[in-house]
Structures are given as C-alpha cells and as structure tokens.
Amino acid sequence: MSDKPWGGAFEQPTDQLLEKFSESVSFDHRLYAQDIRGSIAHARMLAAVGVLTGEERDQIVEGLATIGEEIAAGQFAFRTSLEDVHMNIERVLTERIGDVGRKLHTGRSRNDQVSTDFRLWIRDAIDHLDHLAKNLQRAFVHRATLDEGVILPGYTHMQRAQPVLAAHYWLAYVEKLERDRQRLADCRRRVNQLPLGTAALAGTTIPINRQMVADELEFEGVVANSLDSSSDRDFALEFGFVLTQISLHLSGWAEEWILWCTTEFGFLKLPDAFCTGSSIMPQKKNPDGVELIRGKTARVVGNLQALITLVKGLPLAYNRDLQEDKERVFDSFDTVAACLELATPMVAGAELQRENIAAGIDRGYLDATTLMEYLITAGVPQRTAHELIGKLVGTAMKKNCRLADLDLAEFTAAHELLDDNVYEVLGVRRAVEAFKSLGSTNPALVAEQVEAWKQRLT
C-alpha cells in the first residue's frame, strides 16, 4: 500500500524536499482527540446508513479508541511521510484491522475532515478560555472587596483627572473580561456548525446522514453549502480576533501595573514570586510577569494579521494554503491561556500601597470637576462654571495648594454662589460620594455592582 492516500495516478514518489516542506503532523497532531472523535461518529453513521456492517463499525471504533489511548500515553509514533494527523491515524488503523480500515474515509474528504477537527478543537479551546477568564474576573471582584473604600486617582491622557474607588477600577476589568467571554460565546455559535459530509467541495453520492453526525458531536447544525464548507476559515479568523481582543485587554492592564510598580507611582506591590531580579543591580525587583503579558500581545496580534493575510484572495474551494492556519491559532491560544493563568494569581496576590496612594491623592485637583458641577446644579451654565473653576485651579496652582485650602473670599470673588458650603464638596472623598449617575464610582453603586458580580460569578 502506498504511503499516500492519493498515489494511484502518480508514477513518481514524492520528493523528500516536498515531503518535509508540506508535512503538518508536527503541529496538527494536537487535533488527534478531535480527529478520533469525529471518525468514530462518522463510522457509526456509515453503519447506520448501511455502508458498514455492525461488526465493521465496532472494529473501527475499537481500533480508533485504542489509538487515541496510545497517543495520549505518548506511545504512538507519528510519521511525517503520512503528512498529517488524519492519515497517521487512518494508516495505523488500517494496518491493524485490514481493509475494514480503508472503508472509514467513505463519504468524506480530508478537506471536510480537517475543518471538522479544527472546529471541535476550537470549541474545546473556547470553553477552556471562558473558564480561565471567569477565574480572572473572580480575582478582580475579590480585590474589589479587599480594597473597599480605597480611592485612586483616575487618569485621562495619563494625567490625573478625577478620583475613583479602587473597587470601581477593578470592576472595569471585570466588564472587559465579560465582553471577552461574550465574544467567545458568540464565536462558539459559528464554530459549532458541522462541515463533515460536504466532502472535497461538491458533496458525496453516498447516502450519508450528516445530521446524525452533528447530533453525536454536539454541533448545533450542519454547514449548508459544500463549496463554502471546504474553503471557510471565518471561524478561525474570528477566534483569532477574540484571542487578540483578550490579549489587548490584558496588555492594557499590564501596562498600568508596570507603571504602578515604579517608585514614581508607588501604587502597587507585586508578590515576589511573580517578579525577577537583576544580574547586576541588587536592589531591582522587576515586574517581568506583567511585562511579558504585555510583550506576548505582539505575537497574538501578529498571528491574527497572518491569518487575515493567509485567506486574502483564496479562490473556492479548498487550497493547501489553509494548512498554515493551525500554527497561528494554536500559538495564540497557548499564549492567551498562559497569560490568563498567570494574571489570576498576580491579581489575587498584589497589594495596593495604601499609604503612598493616600499621601498623594490630593495632588492634581481631582475635585475640580465636582466643584464645577456644584455650580451647574446651582444654575450656572456649564461653560461658565468650567471657566470659573479653571481660574480657581490656576490660583491654587500658583499658591501650590489644594482647592480646599483657598480662602472663602477667593471663592466668593469667583462667584457669589461659592459660599462657605463649597467646602462640603471639596476633597477626593466628598468628590467620590457626590457622583450620582448609574455606572459611576459612587460608593453605594459600586457596592451594588460588587455584590452583583459575586452572584454572577458563583
């Protein structure tokens, strides 16, 4: 028997250079469990429609299950001459059970087979990532409880802007991760359509039952068009985008924490277990974990770019170019999963440097907007109030003092409505308590959100 599944019309063996260049089993062996699961479902369907006998079905199912156990135990030797994981498994099956094994591929092509395996693998990957993202959400919610009442400076343009509760800050990342989980779930719906049975590109004359296979493999439906099925990698690109979005969220968080760990900020202390030192400077504690999370985002973004470029301009239907999709997706998944796993204990174990934060919280006039809105509430137009408070901030800056340290006469000179009640709205804690809008950093509203997230994430 030829090493190739397509050698009948060929007079020359495959050149070793092409064999080495075109093999994919070195990376697509990761699909072995999905390939075996899909082949078992296919064999059962072939028996149900009369292509296989019950005895032949059982031989195939038993043989595939044994091969799966051997691969899992590291006792299976993959051969690059057989190109991919699919042919490696089928060839060993045929060597063990004879011609019955050669019947397994009836009614399918490697085109729809690999698409099925890949969809099954991505479906499993999505479920795993959802679990990891949920764990990280829980860690952030736990931090919101630990740091209740702590006030941080909020930033825009990396300049101090308004005060926010630390709990509000942590919940911002819970929200981002929730959108990531929603995108994963939405992507899963489109992944979860069965291509198997569309064969090479036009379907098959064998009276197969695709819905039976879809039901056994827990697909929500079957791909409707065989040409589309053979060429489609939308699901891989979409998964690549969701992975990239998760990575971008993690990278933004990592960048903030890298800044917060500096002496200049002094907001945060990471556990020593997640830092490294310098080979020359004894005092250094470097936040390498978060730096690498930020850095690894580059490869995830690059993988998405590679996937987009890969499918640009491919004609219908299948093209061998599509072999290049798996390494990019595998690498992005591995990278994002590792980042999520590392982020969770770092978030749980970090400590806010509360004394440092409190000592500098009054810098930056974080209560200026609250004072402006105090005037607006009293009837002063927003643009007018903005200009008046801006001038008062300018006065305080010249005196190098807080707004609350200005004399009452300076306030009343700015506007008659700025009487001695003005001191009741100045200061970061009063500013935080003054917020009223839904979604704001108001302590009562934040406490409600924390409790709501605890319930959602149980």
Residues classed as catalytic: 157, 278
Local structure of 225: helix, strand or coil? coil
| Nearest CA-CA partner of 440 in 91, 176, 168 | 168
Long-range contacts (CB closer than 8 Å, 24 or more residues apart) made by 311-318: 311/233, 311/237, 314/231, 316/201, 316/227, 316/228, 316/230, 316/231, 317/111, 317/200, 317/201, 317/226, 317/227, 317/230, 317/231, 318/111, 318/200, 318/201, 318/230, 318/231
Rounded (10°) CA dihedral 37, 25, 208, 100? -80
In angstroms, the CA 50 to CA 59 distance is 15
Q: Which backbone phi and psi does 306 adopt, to 5 degrees? A: -65, -40
**Residue 195: closest CA among 125, 109, 126:** 109
CA distances for 305 relative to 180, 310, 361, 450, angstroms:
19, 8, 42, 37
Q: Is 50 left (phi over 0), alpha (psi -120 to 50) or beta?
A: left
State the Cα angle at 175 between 170 and 176, rounded to 5°: 100
Q: Please name the amino acid found at residue 452.
A: A
149 contacts: CB under 8 Å, gap ≥ 6: 165, 443
By the 8 A CB rule, do 392 and 410 touch?
yes
- What backbone phi and psi angles, to 5 degrees, belong to 17? -65, -45
> Which amino acid would we find at residue 401?
C
Per-residue tokens: 221: 């439906």
Contact 80, 20 (CB under 8 A): yes
Report the alpha-carbon distance of residue 26 to residue 203 in Å, rounded: 29
